[in-house]
Structures are given as C-alpha cells and as structure tokens.
Chain A
Amino acid sequence: MNRKTITLTLAVLVVLGLGLVPQIIKKDNIINLAILVFIYVMMAVSWNFIGGIAGQTNLGHAAFFGLGFLIARMLWTEHRWPLFPCLLLGALVPVGFAMLIGIPAFKLKGAYFAIGTLAMAQILFITVRNLFPMMSFLPGDELAAYSLRPRYYLAFGSTLLTIAAAIWISRSRWGLGMRALREEATAAESLGVNVLGHKLMAFGLSAFFGGLAGGVFAYYAAGYYYFFPFAPTWTFDAVMATYIGGMGTIIGPILGAVFYVVVKEILALRLVEVHLIVFGVLFILIVLFLPGGLVQVWDKIRHLQAPSSRQQAPEPVPCSPDAVLHSGEN
C-alpha cells in the first residue's frame, strides 16, 4: 500500500468518523463545539486563499462572513426562502463585493492593502449596524424545532467543500500563479502571470467560502444581531487560527482552527479566571518556537529523530512555495 493510498484511506476514515459523530455523541456541547470548529476552519481556510496562498494580507475578511450571514439570514428567516438558495446567494454576494472593491484595493500593496481592507470592513460594519440595528431571532417554528444535528451536517459538508477547493487550487495552475505573485509579483508578471487576475481569483474564492461560512452561521445562530458578524474579531480569529496552524499550507489553517477553538474552550471551562492569560502565553510560545505554525511540529520531530537528514533537506518555511507544494503534492 503506497503513501497515497494510506492518506486517502485515512482521509476517508476521518470523514466517515466525523460524519458519525452526531450519531455516536449525544452531548450537545460536543456537537456545538464541533460546529464552531467547522465554521472556524472555513474562515481560516478561506482567509488562507488570499492571505496565505496569494500573500495579500486581507484584514477585511469579516465583511465576507458578515455579508454571507446577512444575506442568508434575511432571506431565510424573513422572506422564508428555502435554505440552500439562501446559502448560495450568501456566498455569491460577497464575491461580487470582493470584485467591486478588489480592483481598486489591489492598487495598494503590503500594509496599505491590509489597512485598506480593514477600513473597508469597518465601514461596512458601521453601515450595517446603522441600517439593521435590530436583533434577529429564528422564526418561531424554527426555534421550536431547533436541533444541532442538521447544523452539524451543514457545517461539516460546507467545510469539506472549502477544503476540497483549497486542495484543488493548490494543485492548479491558478494556485501556482498565486504563489508566484506572493513571492514576487513583478517577476511573476514577467513570466506571464496575470497578477490582477490571480489576485481577484484568490479574493473571490476567499469571499465565496467566507460568505458560505457566514451562511452556515446564519443557520446555526438562534439569536444574533445582523451586524455582529461584521465585527473585526471574525477577521482576527481567522488570521490567528491560520498563523497558529501555518500560513500558505492546506493543513495549517485546519489545524490552527481546531487548536484555536478547542484549546480556548477547554481553557475557558477549566481555568475560568485565568484562561485568557494562559491562552495568550500559549499563543506567544507557538509564535516563538513554531514560527511556521503547528505544521512545523512534524518537521521538528522528524529532524530530531533523523539529524542526518537535516543536512540533506532544507528547513521548510511554511510561507514559502515549498511548503505549499509540499502540502499539496499528494
């Protein structure tokens, strides 16, 4: 059995195992936590399209999540559309928004792009807060029948879709182009890469799956303000999860999101008074000792076990094309 078969088998087992979780685990707190993990995985993986793979630090990701939430929630709860068209529109509208702001925003570079996208998201946050200040509750019939099981499966399915898109893009010419422009846009352009087109592609994918995560959250949240999902914390959480896991990789944002949600929750339940301090220290330790994120753990272990191989294989840098290629070379 070769490595590819082993990996595929393992992946299928993981998917099947996760698919059986609601049937096996009866405790709603575990199901609820799993839904949050899925949503954060979607947020981190979707941010990674533009921030990790294409190397454009977008600090306005909450705008996509918020738009997805707003559109899906309004259509579903107030206009009583069927859920799936609401989710689809909730994912497509952020893409339109990304294209609209992407063309002018990509004239900015580096920190200016980051500040520009942060400002854009804040403007949207304030505008939506002023336009829709009211709280949104699920309709009475939905509240009465509220169950976490269907929400789990929706979040799980959407997460699989997001990860599949990330794997596809990392193996495609688009992905290669994105990584090339991340390393050196001018050089990439000179080799025939359409820089703006690739940036817009990455931005669009990021917006689509960020919006889809917002739609899933719209289905999950029983009582919530329309404007809360536009809050910058949704951006920073996605960025932090990606940094913790490993930017620019496929697995990194997934690992980071799992770690970010699960460890925070365990600490909050076990160390009520000091949980924020402990998590802060943990985050600093990861940044200090694993600058490439949790995906570096395996490399560290491997190098410890086989010191001689260290001389042959260079230390992988997760943000480099190597790391991305490595993770997507299956």
Chain B
Amino acid sequence: MKRLSVVIAIALIMGLMVASCGPTPTPTTAPPTQPPVQPTQTPVQPTQTPAKPAPEAIEIGASIPLTGKYGSLGVQVKAGYELAVQDINAAGGVYVKEFDQRIPIRLTIYDDESDPTKAVSKLEALYAEQNVVAYLGGAASDMHAATVPIAEKNKVPYCGVAFALWKIHQQGFRYLFSPFPKSPQQAEDTFKILNAAIPEGQRPTKVAIFQETTDWGVELGGLWKENAQKYGYEIVAYETYTPRAESFSDMILRAKNAGAEALLAVPNQPDGIAMVKQMSELGWTPKFMLLIRAPENPAWYEALGPLGDYVTIFPGWSYKVKWPGVEELNQKHQAAYGRPADVLVGPAYTCALVVANAIERAGTLDREAIRDAMAATNLKETPIGPVQFREDGTGIVLNPMVQWQKGQIEVVWPPEHASAPLAYPAPPFDQR
C-alpha cells in the first residue's frame, strides 16, 4: 500500500517533469561559409514603411530516419537539407518583406528511428516547441504517410522527397508538396522513353510486369498496365510476388514462355538481385529491364557483376544531370562526404530551396501565406531542374532514367542530360 502510493507520487512527478520540460532544439544549421549555389527568385525590394522586429531565425524543422531501416536514405536527405540551408544562410538568409531584412534559417532535425509513430511525435514537438513555419519531410512512403496528416492538422507547409507513392497525394492534403517523380509519371515515362529512344520495329513491345505485393508495387503495376496499351505495348505476363520471396522461377518461366521482351518491376534489393540471378540461370534475358529501387546503389553491381548491366532505373535524380548548380553541389558534397552527391541529395536540397523561395515570395512568416506561395512555385534553376507543383502537390519535375553500363550508372534519358546513350538491346546473360 505504502509502495503503491509512493509509486503513484513518482509517476505524478514524472508527469509534471514531462509537462514542464520542453525539448531543447538541436539546430543543425552550419554557419554561413559559402556563397549560395542557387539563388531563390529575385528578392522583393525593401519598402519604406518601418518593419516590425524580425525574429532571430526562420524556424524550419525536419524529422528524418537517421537510424533504423531507412537510415541510409535519411542521411542523404539530411545532407541535402543541410547543404541548402548553409548556402541560403551564406547569402544572409531569406529576405522577408514583412521585416524588411534577410533572416537566416534555423533548421532543427530530429531522428525518428524509421518509426512513423516517433516521427509524428517529432513533428508535434517541432510545432509546439520550435514554432516552425515549415516542415521538411523524412524519407520513405510510410514515414511521409504518418507525418503529412500532422502537417495538415497543424496547418504547416510540408515539403518532402524520397517517396514515389502517389496515394499519399490523393488524400486531399493541402500542405503537402513533393518535388519528386511519382508513380503516374514513372509509368508514363517508361513507355514514352522507350518510344523515343528505340526505333519502331525494334521496340520491346511484349512486356512482363513482376508486381510486388506492396502499395507502391500495386500502384505502379496498375499504372504500367494502363499506359502500356496507350503507347503500343502488350502486357504478356503480369505476375505478383511477395517481398523477400526466394524463388521467382515460375514467374520468370511464364514470362519467358509468353515471349516477353521487357521486364518492369519495383523490387527491393535482395529480391532484385535474386530475380536477375534466376533469370540468368533460366536463360531469359529481356531486351530491356526497368527495375526501380533495387539497383540504386553499388551493392547491386558488387552482387551481380556484369549480370547487373543494362538494367535501367528511375532514381528520381542523379549527380550526373547537367542542370546549373549540380557541379557546385557535387563539389560541396565531395568535400563534406568524400563522394559526389547521393541520389536523394539533389531533391532534398531543392526541397529546402522551395521552402526558402516560398517564404521570400510570401514576404511573411505566416504559414498559410507560405503554403500558398509554395503552391505557386515556379523555380527555373535548381539541382533537379525547373520545379512547379500540380494541384495535388506532386512536383512537375524531370524524371531521369539511368542505366548500369560496365559497372557505372549512366544517365541515359533525357538526351540533353545523358552521360551515355541507352544500351539496347541487352545481350544474353551468358554472353557478357
């Protein structure tokens, strides 16, 4: 009895402690050191009217999976945000008409451990304690799906990359913006690129789709199916499989027997590697392979060697695209991390630019005005190219196609950004 009452008292004290202690912000913004790589749109001229006192910084917050299963994606996103904020602050910050001066951005980043529930908590803390005017998103569909409704509830504009799932944009969210290619664009671009890059008569018109039973797999599989006929392609095999399936033999043989010449899929890396190995063993080499996701990092070629060549990907961005500012971004990334910018760095960098640009055009730190300015974004020069947004918050952005060629990832589409032409048709696996 006595212990019970003491323990209740301890619980009460703990509760009070929690209620009283707000989180200490952990700004990760580096001090201004370098000139901006990408200026935002022309600043509004200072006005003559006296401005009200400006805040010390513009608060922007992000909850990113820096540890856990999405840790490898999260660190890329974090690097992109931080490089962008460094560049913006190096120019003195963002000009805000309401205060008639440039104000630096203070970016607070929390680790959500790849746990959507924790990501929600972090977004609530950023709103309540840091009073952020905008959120920058984390990485992966499930993390965004959990956090975007919180942005909506708090009416805080949200810019996120590293997810292609269109369904998130179909919920009527007003505050969500994503300058990153989504499934409908990927599905349509697949056939547009094939038609543009390969002469009629040589195209792989008989297509096999290996659909993973995940939300993105279902979504993209259906969209590929819808678009195929429109662009003159026939789906001769539509096979489904569960993630981490060990054997793909049945579906490979069905696709082979149906005479499929192209393979489209969104496997995770272990599944993608197993798929290609088993295709090689079963003697089926599609002339064209688009495997989104699995081949995106060097582990692909380390596991497959030449078998991994000729596979194409829609990574969302590449450090080899030829937009202005990419070279400078690569140099900064090289200096900080010892390699050119990773695949999510460019889109994440752009996301921060989009927010800064929207604040500047809004001329205020009012969240609703920033949201409206984000919706009207029309950036011409960013590391991912021109950026605009559709009504549903999806970005009108370039969706480059890359391809493994002799152990290197080359940009093969669009031609003006290509570092190599599309290698087609793929030679049989046993002749490589």
Give the contact stretch, choosing among B14-22, B248-256, B398-406: B14-22
In the assembled complex, how far is the CB of residue A85 from the closest CB belonging to chain B, in whole angstroms?
A: 24
Pairwise interchain contact B1-A143, C-beta atoms closer than 8 A: no
Looking at chain B's contact residues, is the secondary structure mostly helix, strand, loop, or mixed?
helix
In the assembled complex, how far is the CB of residue B18 from the closest CB belonging to chain A, in whole angstroms?
A: 5
Contact of B2 among A3, A140, A268, A275 (CB under 8 A): A3
A191 within 8 A of B: no
B1-29: which residues lie under 8 A (CB-CB) from chain A? 1-12, 14-15, 18-19, 21-24, 26, 28
A150 within 8 A of B: no
Report the nearest A residue to B23, measured CB to CB: A269
A275: chain B residues within 8 A (beta carbon): 111
B213 within 8 A of A: yes
Pairwise interchain contact A33-B127, C-beta atoms closer than 8 A: no
Pairwise interchain contact B142-A10, C-beta atoms closer than 8 A: no
Report the nearest A residue to B125, measured CB to CB: A29
Pairwise interchain contact B111-A146, C-beta atoms closer than 8 A: no
Q: Tell me the bound Cα distance from A143 to B175 in angstroms.
A: 13
A-B contact count (CB 8 A): 164
Pairwise interchain contact A137-B116, C-beta atoms closer than 8 A: no
B172 within 8 A of A: yes
Give the contact stretch, choosing among B214-222, B274-282, B285-293: B214-222
B141: chain A residues within 8 A (beta carbon): 135
B30: chain A residues within 8 A (beta carbon): none
In the assembled complex, how far is the CB of residue B182 from the closest CB belonging to chain A, in whole angstroms?
A: 14
A140: chain B residues within 8 A (beta carbon): 171-172
Q: Tell me the bound Cα distance from A225 to B217 in angstroms.
A: 14
B372 within 8 A of A: no
Give the contact stretch, choosing among B146-154, B315-323, B375-383: B146-154
Among A4, A233, A269, A273, the most chain B Cβ lie within 10 Å of the Cβ of A269
Looking at chain A's contact residues, is the secondary structure mostly helix, strand, loop, or mixed?
helix
Decide: A135 near B154, CB < 8 A? Known: A143-B171, A224-B116.
no
B81 within 8 A of A: no
Pairwise interchain contact B19-A223, C-beta atoms closer than 8 A: no
A157 within 8 A of B: no
A272: chain B residues within 8 A (beta carbon): 26, 28, 66, 109-111
B242 within 8 A of A: yes
Pairwise interchain contact B145-A137, C-beta atoms closer than 8 A: yes
Contact with B along A133-148 (1 / 0, CB 8 A): 1110110100100110
Pairwise interchain contact B121-A228, C-beta atoms closer than 8 A: no
Among A7, A250, A326, the most chain B Cβ lie within 10 Å of the Cβ of A7
Pairwise interchain contact A14-B167, C-beta atoms closer than 8 A: no
Q: Tell me the bound Cα distance from A7 to B11 in angstroms.
A: 13
B328 within 8 A of A: no
Interface bracket on A: 35 or more
Pairwise interchain contact A30-B24, C-beta atoms closer than 8 A: no
Pairwise interchain contact B23-A270, C-beta atoms closer than 8 A: yes
Pairwise interchain contact B125-A269, C-beta atoms closer than 8 A: yes
In the assembled complex, how far is the CB of residue A66 from the closest CB belonging to chain B, in whole angstroms?
A: 14
B392 within 8 A of A: no
Decide: A268 near B110, CB < 8 A? Known: A27-B128, A135-B142.
yes
Pairwise interchain contact A223-B5, C-beta atoms closer than 8 A: no
Decide: A32 near B121, CB < 8 A? Known: A137-B171, A262-B18, A270-B23.
yes
Q: Tell me the bound Cα distance from A134 to B222 in angstroms.
A: 14
Decide: A266 near B18, CB < 8 A? Known: A133-B214, A223-B146.
yes
Decide: A276 near B113, CB < 8 A? Known: A14-B11, A223-B149.
yes
B150: chain A residues within 8 A (beta carbon): 222
Among A32, A223, A259, A270, the most chain B Cβ lie within 10 Å of the Cβ of A223
B215: chain A residues within 8 A (beta carbon): 133-135, 225
Of the A-B pairs whose beta carbons lie under 8 Å apart in the complex, a sample of 15, sorted by A's number, is A14-B12, A27-B129, A30-B18, A30-B19, A36-B117, A130-B213, A135-B168, A222-B149, A251-B4, A265-B118, A272-B111, A297-B10, A298-B3, A327-B4, A329-B1
Not counting A28-B154, A269-B23, a sample of 15 additional A-B residue pairs whose C-beta atoms are within 8 angstroms of each other reads A3-B5, A14-B11, A17-B15, A29-B121, A29-B125, A30-B18, A30-B19, A32-B121, A36-B117, A137-B145, A140-B172, A222-B146, A228-B142, A266-B21, A327-B4
Taking Cβ atoms with an 8 Å cutoff, the residues of B that contact A are: 1-12, 14-15, 18-19, 21-24, 26, 28, 66-67, 109-111, 113, 115-118, 120-122, 124-125, 127-129, 141-142, 145-150, 152-154, 165, 167-168, 171-172, 213-215, 217-218, 242-243
Question: What 8 pairs between A and B have smallest CB-CB spacing?
Answer: A222-B149, A269-B23, A223-B145, A29-B124, A27-B128, A29-B128, A29-B125, A32-B124
